[in-house]
Amino acid sequence: MGYLLSMDTLRGLHRVDGELTRQAAWRVPPPLGKVLSGVEEIAESTKLWCGAGVVMASVGGRRGRRAAAAGLGAVVVAQLVSNGLCKQVADRPRPPREWFPHDEVDDRPDSSSFPSGHTAAAVAFCAAVAPTWPVAGLLCAVPAVAVALERVQSGAHYPSDVAAGSLIGLAGAWLVRRSPRLLVRRLL
């Protein structure tokens, strides 16, 4: 009985995931879609987060260097987990092309949809930077949210892929921020 309930629950979640994806594709106004795509293009291959790290390290003094190091370290962890591990295991197909009224869907990658590596990197960077430099973390959260929205609106991901990427990013930031303390405890 528990197995049937869990399968019904999973089917229900999949239906909701699909409906949210279709709604995002049709309800985001084209001008906003173009802005979201521009932000995602800048964030492609972690360029935005690397650039933000360089700026923080250059103008932020010691705090900026610490925030940048934490942010970039968290991006590396999040990318390894999301793209190097989870995508290889999950192998989830991307949302169907016919759900999307725009040609952005033609530019999406062929890799697994689950999880969103872009979102994982964005959330990891912001969550790792914020404890050291809250204003910088908040400023970086604006494009991070845009990246997450764009991944669904463009047809690259389902909302659950973005949610999973967010969790991976938070875990990566936590690990990078906590690892020095954990290592010190082990060594002492």
What pLDDT was estimated at residue 188?
45
Show Cβ contacts of residue 69 under 8 Å, excluding neighbours closer than 6 positions. Answer: 53, 57
Structural domains counted in the chain: 1
Whether residue 16 is contained in a domain is answered as no
Residue (of 118, 124, 112, 127) closest to 44 by Cα position = 118
Q: Which range has highest mean pLDDT (13-17, 143-147, 181-185)?
A: 143-147
What pLDDT was estimated at residue 183?
53
Domain extent for 170 = 30-187
What residue type is 175 in one-letter code?
A: L
Q: What are phi and psi of 6, to 5 degrees?
A: -70, -35
Element (H, E) at 158: none
pLDDT digits (tens, 9 = 90+) for 26-84: 777 878 878 888 888 888 888 999 999 999 999 999 999 999 999 999 999 999 999 99
Whether residue 81 is contained in a domain is answered as yes
Whether residue 39 is contained in a domain is answered as yes
Residue 89, pLDDT above cutoff 60: yes
pLDDT digits (tens, 9 = 90+) for 107-163: 777 888 899 999 999 999 999 999 999 999 999 999 999 999 888 988 889 999 999
What residue type is 136 in one-letter code?
A: A
Q: What's the pLDDT band for 181 if we cut at 50, 70, 90? A: low
Whether residue 18 is contained in a domain is answered as no
Assess whether the previous peptide bond of 180 is cis (omega < 30° from 0): no
Q: What's the pLDDT band for 186 if we cut at 50, 70, 90? A: low
Whether residue 4 is contained in a domain is answered as no
Whether residue 138 is contained in a domain is answered as yes
What pLDDT was estimated at residue 67?
95
What pLDDT was estimated at residue 182?
58
**Cα→Cα distances 138→130, 132, 151, 162, Å:** 7, 11, 20, 19
Q: What is the DSSP string of 52-115?
A: HHHHHHHHSHHHHHHHHHHHHHHHHHHHIIIIIIIHHHH-PPPPPGGG-SSGGGGGS-SS--SS
Whether residue 66 is contained in a domain is answered as yes
What pLDDT was estimated at residue 72?
95
Residue 88, pLDDT above cutoff 80: yes
CB count within 10 Å of CB 62 equals 9
Separation of CA 12 from chain center: 24
pTM over 0.75, yes/no? yes
**Pick the residue with more confidence: 19 or 180?**
19
**Pick the residue with more confidence: 186 or 148?**
148
Task: Give the span between the Cα atoms of 118 and 186, in whole angstroms.
Answer: 33
Whether residue 11 is contained in a domain is answered as no
